[in-house]
Amino acid sequence: MVALVAGLSLLCMQLVQAGNLPDFVELVKKSSDAVVNISTTQKIETGMPQLPEGFEMPEFPEDSPFGELFKYFFDHGEDGEPSYHDAKSLGSGFIISKDGYVMTNYHVVKDADEIIVRLSDRRELKGEVIGVDQRSDVALLKIEATGLPVARIGTSSELQVGEWVLAIGSPFGFDHSATAGIVSAKGRSLPSENYVPFIQTDVAINPGNSGGPLFNQEGEVVGVNSQIYSRTGGYMGLSFAIPVEVAMDVADQLKTAGRVRRGWLGVLIQDVTLNLAESFGMQHPHGALVAKVLPDSPAKKAGIKVGDIIVGFNHKEVQDSASLPPIVGSSKVGTQLPVKVMRNGREQTLKVTLGELPDDKSVAKGPGKPEVEQTNRIGFSAVDLSDEQKEALEVEDGILVTHVKKGPASQAGIRKDDIILSIDGKPVQSVEQFQKLVSDLPAEKSVAILVQREGSPTFLAVKIPAGD
C-alpha cells in the first residue's frame, strides 16, 4: 500500500513537471515557413598527376585493363585542361525580408560556385551572395521572389541563462527539424573570434543546422546557429549562436555599404588575474589590462597607457578582456566615446575617437563595395589596403590576397591573407596598378613576388602564364 501511494505521488510529480515544460508546437507552425535549406556546390580540381615531360599516353588494346587505368590517372582530356568534381554541402538560413533577403553563415556559402535556396513550399531558387563577413560568420543572400514569409526578429539582450530556446534547421539535410534546449551562457568568446559575444546553448545542433535561426519562446529569432564544440564532429551538448543584433547589424551594413565597419581602439589586452588585481590596488579582478598601445592608434591619441585597466567603454562595464572587443567593434566609427580606466589605483575617464578596425578577414561583395575585388592572370583575387590596415601591418603599400585559385599563384605558395608588396622589383600600390604590372609581364617568365605573411616578408617565384 505504501509503495502504491509512493508510486502515485511520483507519477503526479512527473505530470506536474511535464505540465510546466514549454510547448513549441504553435511556435514551429508559425515560424518554420521562414526557415530555408541551403545547398551549395563548389567545383574542385581533381589534381590528377601529369605524365613526365616527353612521354605520351600509350595505346593499349580495347580489352586491356591498363588503358582505363592510365586514363584515370593521367588523361586530362584533349584540351589538356584538368578535370573537376563537384563538392556539395548543406546548411540552413532564414528569410528576413519579403523581397528575398536571406540570412545564413559565411562558412555555409564560402567558396561556393552555386547556391540553391529551398523554401518550405519546396521551391528551389538560385541564391546570390550580397555580401559576407568572415569575422562574424554572417552571409547575406538574395533570392528572386516576393511575398515571402519573414522571420520575426527579437533581441538576445533580454535572454536569461536557463531560458528555453528552439532551433529549426536542416541537420544532415533533414529539412525543418526542430530541436530545443536552454540558454547555457551568454557573451561567450571563442578562440576563433573575439568580436562576437556568442550565446551558448545545449540545443542539439549538427552539420546542416549552421545558419539557421534560434528562437525564443515568443517565436522571435534571438540568434543564428553557427558553431558546435565537439570532439567527434557531432553534437556534444555545446552549441553557439551569433546574437541576432550582431547578425542584423552585419546584414544591414553588407546590404547598404557592401562591407562591414567595426570600431577599433588599437590596444593589446589581457585578463586581470587575482595577483595582478592586488598589485594594481583593485579589490577584485575585472576589466581588460592594456599590454600594448599601437602607435598612432585611437587609444594612443586618447592617452591610454600600458598598464591601464579598461573597466568601462561607452557606458558599458568591461568584465574581462573578452568582453571589450565586441563592445568596441559594435560602436560607431568616428564617434567620440568615454573610456573608463584604472590607473595607479584610481578611476579616470578618457575620451577616444574610435577608428576603423583593419578587418583583413572581412570579405564583402556586391553593390556599393568601395574596394573592387579582382582576379589577375596568375590566379588570385585581391583588394586594396585601407590606411588603417597599412598602419596596423606597418607597410607603406601593398594589396591583400582574398582568394587563391589553382594555378601559378597557388603553385608558388601564395596564400589567402598574404600582403603583396612588390612584383618583379616594382612596389605594389593598388589592385589596379598590380593588374597592369602583371599584364605587362611576358608569358613564361619567372618573376619574384615579395609577400608579407604574419608580419614576416618573403620572396616567392611565380611563372607568368600565357594568355590573360
Can you say whether residue 233 is alpha, beta or left, with left for phi > 0 and alpha for psi between -120 and 50 degrees? left
Cβ count within 10 A of residue 35: 28
> Which grid cell sits at 466?
600565357
Q: Is 210 among the residues known to form the active site?
A: yes
By DSSP bridging, strand 35-45 and strand 84-95 are antiparallel
Residue type at position 436: K
Q: Is 284 among the residues known to form the active site?
A: no
Taking the C-alpha atoms of residue 457 and residue 383, their distance in angstroms, rounded to an integer, is 19
Taking the C-alpha atoms of residue 380 and residue 432, their distance in angstroms, rounded to an integer, is 14
> Which grid cell sits at 29?
507552425
Q: Which of 76, 107, 176, 403 is catalytic?
A: 107
Q: Is 430 among the residues known to form the active site?
A: no
Q: Which of 133, 137, 175, 359 is catalytic?
A: 137
The full DSSP string for 257-287 is: HSS---EE--EEEEE--HHHHHHTT-SS--S
Taking the C-alpha atoms of residue 81 and residue 45, their distance in angstroms, rounded to an integer, is 10
Taking the C-alpha atoms of residue 233 and residue 128, their distance in angstroms, rounded to an integer, is 29
Residue type at position 364: A
Which residues lie closer than 8 Å to 404 by C-beta, 6 or more apart? Answer: 379, 380, 381, 410, 414, 415, 416
The full DSSP string for 391-417 is: HHHT-SS-EEEEEE-TTHHHHHT--TT
Q: Which of 136, 184, 210, 297 is catalytic?
A: 210
Cβ count within 10 A of residue 1: 5
Asked if 323 and 187 count as a contact pair (C-beta separation under 8 A), the reply is yes
Nearest partner of 401 among 455, 433, 355, 363, judged by Cα: 363
Taking the C-alpha atoms of residue 143 and residue 133, their distance in angstroms, rounded to an integer, is 19
Taking the C-alpha atoms of residue 350 and residue 344, their distance in angstroms, rounded to an integer, is 15
Asked if 131 and 254 count as a contact pair (C-beta separation under 8 A), the reply is yes
Catalytic residues: 107, 137, 210
